[in-house]
Amino acid sequence: MLGVQLHDLADKLAKSCYDAVFVSSSLGETLESLRRIVNVVRTSSKKAVPVVIGGTILEAETKYNVTSLTGADYATSVPSEALELCGLTTKYLSIAPQQRGA
């Protein structure tokens, strides 16, 4: 969901079941606005889901600050790492077949 309003996010989370929520944040985003997003995820989801924050905000903030000040479980800008941190690697990643040289 791009540019979603918090009430629309809450509605979507209440009606669906997700394995994780990944939030991509830019440098201009505040940690307070991210904390509000994480709070909506926590209070609206049908089940407890891990929340990962990534994006260019990690160029300005440490992973520790992002997780501790927003309530997110993890912070990374690497999609495969986000899946691994959430325990979803085997569910969503497959190993590409090796190229056979001539």
Please spell the DSSP secondary structure of 3-17, one letter per residue: S--HHHHHHHHHHS-
The DSSP-derived string for 53-68 is EESGGGGTS-HHHHHH
Encoded amino acid at 10, one letter: A
Cα(37)–Cα(59) distance, rounded to whole angstroms? 20
What would the two tokens of residue 38 be? 């994480």
- Identity of residue 96: A
pLDDT along the chain (102 residues), means of 10: 88 92 93 96 94 96 96 95 88 53 47
Q: What's the whole-model pTM score?
A: 0.83
